[in-house]
Structure 1
Amino acid sequence: MANPYAGEVALVIDGQRHVLKLTLGALAELEAGLDSGSLVDLVERFEGGAFSSRDVVALIVAGLRGGGWQGDAGALLQADITGGPMQAAQVAAQLLARAFALPGDAA
């Protein structure tokens, strides 16, 4: 079960439930892979609803990697995500919110 207080979010990919989490290492990998800007810019894009599908994929991959997954973006692009792109975008936004929420904040 995903623990929101630990920053975890669940997502079903190819019929298998995964727990995603943005660890410090996953955040560093995410930031290094961004085409432009920083993590703050990424958060601002999500807050403003101006995020791209590339942002969503990068966040999902980083969260999966933080949860112990060994795959890469190419594998995710070929996968079936239960709930489709909308669910992926919601999970990406939840990951960001939970990674940067203070204890006790509703995220």
Structure 2
Amino acid sequence: MPPANPWAGEVALILDGTAHTCKLTLGALAELEASLQADTLVALVGRFEAGGFSTRDVLALIVAGLRGGGWRGSARDLLCAEIEGGPVRAAEAAAELLARAFATP
């Protein structure tokens, strides 16, 4: 798998020893909004900027990013998965996904 391209909004994440490319596509963003229910993406970005995000936010972003990168799993699949770098890397990847999805080149 080629390395993630930050200019295309991609973020690399290793699950159970396998490299994955994450990306918040329009479809992935729609899934993310649905999974957050009452929350908006603007509120989510604000929580990350303020450092007030939850593990639920991180999980939702990682699932949406993985799905945008072609992964066919679900949040339930991540409950048992080992993310290289642990929760800290997961939070970093989630923040990178948000920043890259809404950044201009």
> Per the shorter chain, which TM-score range?
over 0.9
- CA–CA distance in 2 between the matches of 1:76 and 1:36? 23
Instruction: Quote the sequence identity (%).
Output: 69
Task: Report the counterpart of residue 15 of structure 1 in structure 2.
Answer: 17
- CA–CA distance in 2 between the matches of 1:48 and 1:74? 28
1:59-90 Cα shifts (integer Å, max 9, x gaps)? 00000000000000000111000000000000
What TM-score does the superposition give when structure 1 sets the normalisation length?
0.94
Task: Report the counterpart of residue 68 of structure 1 in structure 2.
Answer: 70
Q: Which ranges of structure 2 fall in alignment gaps of 5 or more residues?
A: none
Tell whether 2:90 aligns with 1:88. Answer: yes
Alignment length (residue pairs): 103
Task: Report the counterpart of residue 54 of structure 1 in structure 2.
Answer: 56
Tell whether 2:36 aligns with 1:38. Answer: no
- CA–CA distance in 2 between the matches of 1:36 and 1:96? 18
- CA–CA distance in 2 between the matches of 1:63 and 1:91? 9
Instruction: Report the aligned-residue RMSD.
Output: 0.6
Task: Report the counterpart of residue 26 of structure 1 in structure 2.
Answer: 28
Q: Which ranges of structure 1 fall in alignment gaps of 5 or more residues?
A: none
- Paired residue type of 2:60: A
- Paired residue type of 1:45: R
